[in-house]
Structure 1
């Protein structure tokens, strides 16, 4: 049976953004960009499962969501590269929250290693998290979305272009994530499931700053956060994006404001890829 996306003509904007009654999962949701996304989804009314490699940090983030926004929230330990772990988190969301409507594939790794120095094991680990993790999250979510839903993949501007030296595995994996967004949109459309990507440029989260510091040290640049930040592109809008800038775009994708959109990857990069 094919499920059609509703026509929301005439629906008030506040209602299009309202996620009350919807159940969401955010991978890598315990800090940084993932936590910002989880907070915005909860603010819009969604109940949220926060999945993260650090189960204690995930539980703390979930408790904060519940306290700040009065939603049901649960934190679980989750390895997006492991199918059993992803399936268990999806089952937990369906059982604890009562269903599954939104899934955000946010978890990722950002290593820096010149291609000629990178071993196969490190390459495979990057693809296991950044590409296989998207595939596993999307497919496990789709199996549990009864009557439609939304999957949002956090891609990167690295899914559109080459970037700095040392990022061959990262760039390749993000191109893969963008390609999966296109293909899964085709395959999931009959189930009423929309699949969208959001592609930020560099956002100074804890993980990104640590990776940037490591890369800076390898090239002799002082590993000072202020120095590193100045090296990052501000795009056309005069500043580097912050996690909430990206979270608001993800909220748009997850909401009925984007009801007619699927298969696209939205650039959230201050014009850096223009």
Structure 2
């Protein structure tokens, strides 16, 4: 697979789970890839090693997505280290669980800072580097479209905000042929939400296909959106959740 030979990509939150799978898939298709991580340097370096083993250039950048200056610096550094930037994947995010009476302002600010503001800051920074025909792809959540349980209102709100941002940014950048899309995963087998976890059976019961997705499933959809084949796809959301929202 060489659909992305010569392309340069940045995947935020690329040290594990869905982010790592996306970074590896883009590299498998020919792209040089930078990833960001917050604390898991060892995991980030392992992903970078796998990418380099494919013959691609790779770099791991430490960045706390709650810090807008760090987010912008990571985008600018990725473009410098890779020699340009063609693809931004806004994947970094945090989970929140708790019903309305339990929230405090610190929790609300944390969700907004990482899941919403960081996406805006990274996209704004990337837009200055992306050539005509570039790509911005953001990881949302199937909960952005349909909330299936109590306790996830803050998280669902943060991911729903990305739908409006994606549609608006697609309009702003459309004249340059830059596409902007959001992918909404459902339950995916990662260390944050393992298929053998305590809540896994309850999650499977809501699916049309009663199994967890694999990170590689999400990565395949992102790779399509990053490819030339998706040049006419923009301002769109793609739900990949085993039929939870069907």
> Normalising by structure 2, what TM-score?
0.94
Tell me the equivalent position of 2:245. 273
Tell me the equivalent position of 2:200. 229
Question: How does 1:180-199 map onto structure 2 within 5 Å?
Answer: 180-199=165-184
Residue 74, structure 1, aligned to residue 66, structure 2? no
Tell me the equivalent position of 1:61. 47
Displacement of 1:55 in angstroms is: 5.8
The gaps in structure 2 that reach 5 residues or longer are none
Aligned partners of 1:44, 1:228: CA distance in 2, in Å? 35
Tell me the equivalent position of 2:216. 244
1:163, 1:171 within 8 Å by CA — same for their partners in 2? no
Matched positions, count: 244
Tell me the equivalent position of 1:45. 30
2:133, 2:231 within 8 Å by CA — same for their partners in 1? no
Aligned partners of 1:112, 1:178: CA distance in 2, in Å? 21
Tell me the equivalent position of 2:87. 102
Displacement of 1:98 in angstroms is: 0.6
1:236, 1:270 within 8 Å by CA — same for their partners in 2? yes
- Select 2:109's aligned residue among 117, 120, 124: 124
> Normalising by structure 1, what TM-score?
0.85
Aligned partners of 1:181, 1:226: CA distance in 2, in Å? 32
2:57, 2:82 within 8 Å by CA — same for their partners in 1? yes
Moved over 6 A (4+): none
RMSD over equivalenced CA pairs, Å: 1.6
Displacement of 1:114 in angstroms is: 1.1
Tell me the equivalent position of 1:7. none
Residue 36, structure 1, aligned to residue 24, structure 2? no
1:51, 1:76 within 8 Å by CA — same for their partners in 2? yes
1:262 match: secondary structure: coil
Tell me the equivalent position of 1:217. none
More moved, 85-94 vs 104-113: 85-94
Tell me the equivalent position of 1:207. 192
